A and B are shown apart, each in its own frame.
Chain A
Amino acid sequence: MLTAFLLLPLAGVLMIAFLPKDREHEAKYLALLVTTIAFAISLFTFVWFDRSVEGYQFVDRLQWITAQDAGFTVQFVLGVDGLSLPMMVLTGLLTVAAVLISFNITLRPKEYFIWLLVLETAVAGVFLSLDLIQFFLFWELELLPMYLLISIWGSGRKEYSAMKFLLYTIGGSALMLVGFLVLGLSAGTFDIAELAAAPPAEAIIPLAAIFWFIMAAFLVKLPVFPVHTWLPDAHTDAPTAVSVMLAGVLLKMGGYGILRIVLPILPQQSLDFRMVLATIAGFSVVYGALITIRQRDLKRLVAYSSVSHMGFVLLGISAMGAVGLSGATLQMFTHGTITGLLFIMVGLVYDRAHTRQIADLSGLMHRMPLIGTVFVVTGLAALGLPGMSGFVAEITVFLGAFGPHPIATSFAVFGVVLGAGYILWTVQRVFTGPMNERWAHLPDATEWWERTAMAGMLASIGIVGIYPRVLTDVVNMGIAPIAAVLGGGA
């Protein structure tokens, strides 16, 4: 099942590759078909997932490089638990949305959709891999489509932004690879489950150094201050769908990596550095929000708000207890849908007005009631309004983190006030006010693919917000063993 989920997009790649040139506009339908099936698989997995069992389910295993005399084997192994399952569903959902809002792509559509599908496989591979080497390979595989998607289909300083994204990630992942190799060679296995079951007590370089090597890659990806500056550039210059994927699922690889690899395998080091992480997190939330308020470009604004919101993820992680870690996982899922949808909305506005400068826009609500309403609702979700998924995640993070880190958490809570500031101010400037003649001819969201993308994302935000158990009951099963390793405190 998981292998099917992982390989299906690649099957789509082949199908699109063999499309004749004169039918290249059909690539989008193939991509939609493939990603919809993949999403359906992720939903089936979600439904069939046994919510009473901790540990991995639906495991597919294949020995790949066996070198017992050298002390290690490299294998191909996939599996989901309560931590990766929400990420799998998120990937499935957001890729469908990304394909839908790419329906108006006319520049080299075959290649575009091919790279989008490769991206899905790479991200899914990261979330489903249970082996460090395999994890690393998928982690690196993601770079290629991202680099091309930004540098070819982007806008503005797209080559600079794509290169910046690439260098940052490679810089981080080089350190991560060192960390993985040392860990794996010291313990004689690269299997994540085995490593977590028996965390290495020592290695050829201090474990604290390994901790920071691996964390470097994940913190860059998350991102948090001070390694976040690639994010606004990459987002601003990327096409809409790529921004959606980037904010929605790629950033989650960072938080996921910490939860899946760092905490279980290096629990003592994680506990040792929890204060540092909490401080970075609290600072990132407020710092990101302060800069967000100053942004003049809608897309940059949403991008910087991501820096602020991903700080909540790290804050929840730094709590090192069941509540905080669950909150971090919920925040990853909910940020994926909410910020993903915000990028979609910004993209829809940009498609029509051909500008993202807030100062140029005003009174759009008159001609675009649907886009305006969905933007407002999504904005309210982003500022943590109860009844929507963002609130559940944030309050859970705060409840978990306040005990160990009262000051950092207070700062983060203040970030929620700032969040209300930049969201509502943006709504005021862009959507309210008298009708602007310059924008009086713009159409609302009328295409079926635009509406479907919005509806799907809104549904997931609302369902989780009103009935969070649909997610928390799954997340609990993934978090409980990690929290137990860390001491199981609140």
Chain B
Amino acid sequence: MIPEAAAWLIYFVPLTAAGVIAVFLRNRPLDAGRLMIGAIGVSWLLALWALNSVLSGDHPGESIGYDPHHWVTIGTALDVSFGINIDGLTGVMLVVVTSVALLVQIYSTGYMHGDGGYYRYFAYMGLFCSSMLGLVLASSLLQLFIFWELVGVSSYLLIGFWFDRPSAAAAAKKAFIVTRFGDFGFMLGIIFIWTQTGEFDIATLNANAKELSAGVLAGFSLGLFAGAVGKSAQFPLHVWLPDAMEGPTPVSALIHAATMVAAGVYLIARFFPAFEAAPPYVHTIVAYTGAITALMAATIGLVATDVKRVLAYSTISQLGYMVMALGLGGYVAAIFHLFTHAFFKALLFLGSGSVNHATGTFDMRLMGGLRSHMPITFWTFVIGSLSLAGVFPLAGFWSKDEILITALDNDPVLFVVGVSVAFMTALYMFRAIILTFLGAYKGGESSAHGDGGHHSLHESPLSMVAPLVILAVPAIAIGWVNLGGGFGHLLEGALPEALRHGHHEASSLVIVVSTVAALAGIASAFAIYYARMPAPEVIRARLAPLHMLAERKYFMDIIAEDILVRGVLYRGFCRVSELFDTYVVDFAVNMVGRVTRIASEVARRSTMGQQQAYSSLLLAGVIGAVVMLFALTGNLMER
């Protein structure tokens, strides 16, 4: 059993390393990278220990109880305590975060080699890993929220890592503010549930959820969901994630694909007992938000020309899948997909970074023919794509099937959505492969979007290739962990008895339909983009309005930025307030000043210098005041 101190170390080790880098290693960047790899390696070992502890208990997956510690107390009215919670869900998340983080750090030593901000990069990465691990270990809602915000700020710092690029600085700001809109709901949810129950402890809240009224549970669940919509880039707050691709690619792989963006899914899963107890309309809202997100993002993925944006929209789409699963009650399905997605999507992002390292661009129109130059990148990218497309027997197949089974059991409409998204996923991924790796090379370079790097078509260095190869293994095989339902059993250990469903029986209908959808998507990609029968331009012309809609991202950026923020908020509410402040409030103040001055002018003129007149006025004033006092109180003399 892992002792509590070791559990705290899981996230204090990277935090300490980040501090050491910021203070002592600014002039020794290579040591900074090594230190961070070592620190996350330690966290990884501790995470494995934690997972092992959870597995080896009498009831696998059940929480290891540690006593919380007081953070703030105000009399008896408020008691905020922090602690560590480790159960099946935490154990899985810890291993996902530390494994991917470790590989991404190793990859970064190659990818970021020679960057002027190398030490800063690793310090920020340490801050992120520490916050993310703190988020999954938190035993209290407020503690979770604290780390929730800290991963947000690490993301802000890393998206804006190349702050001299205006686009990166703008993307960082946008990411933080858009997610804050979601956090507004999340905060209200936290405040609301505390006002209702006086409780922050996650386990207690979940255990007592049944006793709360439907309205309270609905308010709380929707608050959590608002947070998830922001962080996990669900419609309509998804607009920040594609822009976040301005950050260095390893950052996209770790934060904006594998871990932080999945925090919203984790959050709902963490409160699954309370969420399940909420009224059904809450579940419907969540499921359909997820479905809309999955569908919308997949269609944009079909037309994006930047390989990283394809992956970004794919991530939004897959997160929508997970959220849909949660809305349908598929706790295990959602987390299982989160788990497999983390590996193959990190692999794909790192692969795109490797491509960028060679070509200097992310624009697929400038690529092509990279297969022979970068065989390892190519093959690992194909493995990741097959896994994402859900081809048997790769990891993505198993988790996607879980979600589709859940959908089929609960809502046929969402099942159809799920299958069509699966088709589109296969299509856009293989479109990306064909445009990037097959055909003839189209020059690369020159784009301002690239991360820089060397522009000769060679395979990337070992430090970058090795993580790709290592990640390819879980992208193929990690789905097998749930073949006997062991993984689901571990996750469900975190839930109360009543919510444990046991293992889903595989449905042959779902297997057939999803496999056909995936293969059809791949075949279509080859037909259109490789054989050009029909050519993409033909399809584009046929579907012109739809194509335009997807290409313009359904005008969501324009609606959000130009209309809502610049228009309604900045030119509307802000400007009205400013004008009101200047021309009404302050004007009134200045008028009072002016009137006083005029009045005193009048008074000055009335100084006629006659002592008698002054005295009589004074007397009248005193009498008036006394009369008023009597009138007001009546009993002054009795005191």
Q: Which residues of A contact B (CB under 8 A)?
A: 164, 167-168, 204-205, 225-226, 228-230, 287, 290-291, 293-294, 321-323, 326, 363, 365-366, 380, 385-387, 391-392, 395-396, 398-400, 402-403, 409-410, 413-414, 416-417, 420-421, 424-425, 427-428, 431-435, 468-469, 472, 476, 479-480, 483, 490
Tell me if B577 and A287 are in contact (CB < 8 A).
yes
* With A229-B586, A290-B573 as contacts: A205 and B164 at CB distance below 8 Å: no
Tell me if B75 and A483 are in contact (CB < 8 A).
yes
Tell me if A396 and B166 are in contact (CB < 8 A).
no
Tell me if A421 and B74 are in contact (CB < 8 A).
no
Name B's interface SS.
helix
* With A204-B633, A469-B70 as contacts: A323 and B77 at CB distance below 8 Å: yes
Tell me if A322 and B75 are in contact (CB < 8 A).
yes
Tell me if B164 and A391 are in contact (CB < 8 A).
no
* With A395-B142, A420-B176 as contacts: A469 and B195 at CB distance below 8 Å: no
Task: Among A294, A398, A434, find the residue whose CB has the most chain B CB atoms closer than 10 A.
Answer: A294
CA distance A400 to B78 in the complex (A): 9
* With A204-B632, A472-B72 as contacts: A386 and B149 at CB distance below 8 Å: yes
Tell me if B142 and A434 are in contact (CB < 8 A).
no
Find chain B residues with CB under 8 A from A424 CB: 156, 172-173, 176-177
CA distance A345 to B578 in the complex (A): 25
Tell me if B146 and A387 are in contact (CB < 8 A).
yes
Tell me if A321 and B77 are in contact (CB < 8 A).
yes
* With A229-B586, A410-B188 as contacts: A380 and B153 at CB distance below 8 Å: yes
Specify which of B71, B585, B586 is in contact with A469 (CB 8 Å cutoff). Answer: B71
Tell me if A416 and B187 are in contact (CB < 8 A).
yes
Find chain B residues with CB under 8 A from A395 CB: 142, 187, 191
Q: Does B194 contact A (CB under 8 A)?
A: yes
Tell me if B180 and A420 are in contact (CB < 8 A).
yes
Known pairs A225-B585, A226-B585, A291-B581 / 16 extra A-B pairs, C-beta < 8 Å: A204-B629, A205-B633, A229-B581, A290-B577, A294-B577, A323-B74, A323-B77, A365-B163, A391-B149, A399-B194, A399-B195, A413-B191, A417-B183, A432-B166, A469-B73, A476-B75
A-B contacts, 22 of them at CB < 8 A, read: A204-B633, A226-B585, A228-B585, A287-B577, A290-B573, A294-B577, A386-B145, A391-B149, A395-B187, A395-B191, A398-B187, A400-B78, A402-B195, A413-B191, A414-B184, A417-B177, A417-B181, A433-B169, A434-B165, A472-B74, A479-B74, A479-B75
Q: Does B552 contact A (CB under 8 A)?
A: no
Q: Does B1 contact A (CB under 8 A)?
A: no
Tell me if B164 and A416 are in contact (CB < 8 A).
no
Interface string of B565-595 (1 = CB under 8 A from A): 0000110011101100100011001000100
Interface string of B546-568 (1 = CB under 8 A from A): 00000000000000000000000
Find chain B residues with CB under 8 A from A468 CB: 71-72
Tell me if B153 and A472 are in contact (CB < 8 A).
no
Find chain A residues with CB under 8 A from B569 CB: 293
The number of A-B residue pairs with CB atoms under 8 Å apart is: 144
Find chain B residues with CB under 8 A from A431 CB: 163
Minimum Cβ distance to chain A for residue B597 (Å): 11
Tell me if B578 and A294 are in contact (CB < 8 A).
yes
Find chain A residues with CB under 8 A from B183 CB: 417
* With A424-B173, A469-B72 as contacts: A399 and B166 at CB distance below 8 Å: no
Q: Which residues of B contact A (CB under 8 A)?
A: 70-75, 77-78, 142, 145-147, 149-150, 153, 156, 160, 163-166, 168-170, 172-173, 176-177, 180-181, 183-184, 187-188, 191-192, 194-195, 569-570, 573-575, 577-578, 581, 585-586, 589, 593, 629, 632-633, 636
CA distance A290 to B142 in the complex (A): 28
Tell me if A229 and B589 are in contact (CB < 8 A).
yes
Specify which of A428, A432, A476, A483 is in contact with B164 (CB 8 Å cutoff). Answer: A432
Tell me if A399 and B75 are in contact (CB < 8 A).
no
CA distance A469 to B72 in the complex (A): 6
Minimum Cβ distance to chain B for residue A202 (Å): 9
Tell me if B176 and A294 are in contact (CB < 8 A).
no
Minimum Cβ distance to chain B for residue A386 (Å): 4
Find chain B residues with CB under 8 A from A294 CB: 570, 574-575, 577-578
CA distance A479 to B633 in the complex (A): 34
CA distance A479 to B71 in the complex (A): 18
Minimum Cβ distance to chain B for residue A427 (Å): 8
Find chain A residues with CB under 8 A from B581 CB: 229, 287, 291
CA distance A383 to B167 in the complex (A): 22
Find chain B residues with CB under 8 A from A391 CB: 146, 149
Find chain A residues with CB under 8 A from B70 CB: 469
Q: Ordered nearest first, which 3 A-B pairs have the shortest CB separation?
A: A432-B169, A386-B146, A290-B577
Specify which of B149, B195, B574, B632 is in contact with A291 (CB 8 Å cutoff). Answer: B574
CA distance A432 to B78 in the complex (A): 41
Tell me if A396 and B192 are in contact (CB < 8 A).
no
Closest chain B residue to A228, Cβ basis: B585
Specify which of B72, B163, B188 is in contact with A396 (CB 8 Å cutoff). Answer: B72
CA distance A476 to B194 in the complex (A): 20
Find chain A residues with CB under 8 A from B570 CB: 293-294
Minimum Cβ distance to chain A for residue B62 (Å): 29
Find chain A residues with CB under 8 A from B74 CB: 322-323, 326, 396, 472, 476, 479
* With A323-B77, A428-B169, A433-B169 as contacts: A409 and B163 at CB distance below 8 Å: no
Find chain A residues with CB under 8 A from B172 CB: 424, 428
CA distance A410 to B185 in the complex (A): 9
Closest chain B residue to A204, Cβ basis: B633
Minimum Cβ distance to chain B for residue A261 (Å): 22
Closest chain B residue to A188, Cβ basis: B639
Find chain B residues with CB under 8 A from A168 CB: 589
Closest chain A residue to B148, Cβ basis: A386
Minimum Cβ distance to chain A for residue B486 (Å): 36
Tell me if B77 and A490 are in contact (CB < 8 A).
yes
* With A226-B585, A294-B574, A416-B180 as contacts: A387 and B636 at CB distance below 8 Å: no
CA distance A167 to B594 in the complex (A): 12
Minimum Cβ distance to chain A for residue B507 (Å): 44
CA distance A363 to B191 in the complex (A): 39
CA distance A82 to B180 in the complex (A): 34
CA distance A168 to B586 in the complex (A): 12
Specify which of B146, B187, B574, B593 is in contact with A413 (CB 8 Å cutoff). Answer: B187
Tell me if A432 and B177 are in contact (CB < 8 A).
no
* With A322-B75, A366-B164 as contacts: A399 and B191 at CB distance below 8 Å: yes
